[in-house]
Amino acid sequence: MAVELRTSQALKLLHDLALDQVRDSEPDLTQRQLAILLTVYLEVPPHTVRGLAAKLGVTKPVITRALDTMGKLGLVTRRRDETDRRNVIIQRTVRGSLFVERLGDLVAARARELPV
């Protein structure tokens, strides 16, 4: 059975989550950075710069810069593809896994708190 969520519930969920994130003042990822992060952690590897750029519909420098930033935060790592050294493989990290899982838990918890 599908997840049932009314429009009003969806908006309240978004509101709660936005407030959470604003108040916690965490690293504060861009929407693009989040899209990249979740793609890396939810979809099957391998992930390349070019592949991510195509999937998101953005240019490659956008991906490179986002990886730079998230790399500094320890959320993601880069490795050269040895079979084709032009490619770069984006890899998950322990810290990134924790970050993503914590994010999912937060959303699920907020959803559970929604009024019926």
Q: How far is the CB of 89 from DNA (least distance, A)?
A: 8
Helices (H) and strands (E) in the chain, counts: 5, 3
Q: What angle do CA 91, 94, 100 make, to 5 degrees?
A: 85
Q: Which of 9, 64, 77, 93 binds DNA (CB under 7 A)?
A: 64
Of residues 34 and 89, the one with the C-beta less far from a second copy = 34
Q: How far apart are the first and last CA of the chain?
A: 17
- Is the Cβ–Cβ distance between 33 and 69 less than 8 Å? yes
Near DNA by CB under 7 A: residue from 6, 60, 95, 102: 60
For residue 64, give both structure tokens: 């490179």
- Rule CB under 8 A: say whether 21 interacts with a second copy: yes
Backbone angles phi, psi at 82, to 5 degrees: -75, -20
> Which of 27, 38, 54, 71 touches a second copy by CB under 8 A?
38
Interface residue list for a second copy (CB under 8 A): 1-15, 18-19, 21-23, 25, 28, 31-32, 34-35, 38-39, 41-42, 55-58, 100-101, 103-105, 107-108, 111-114, 116
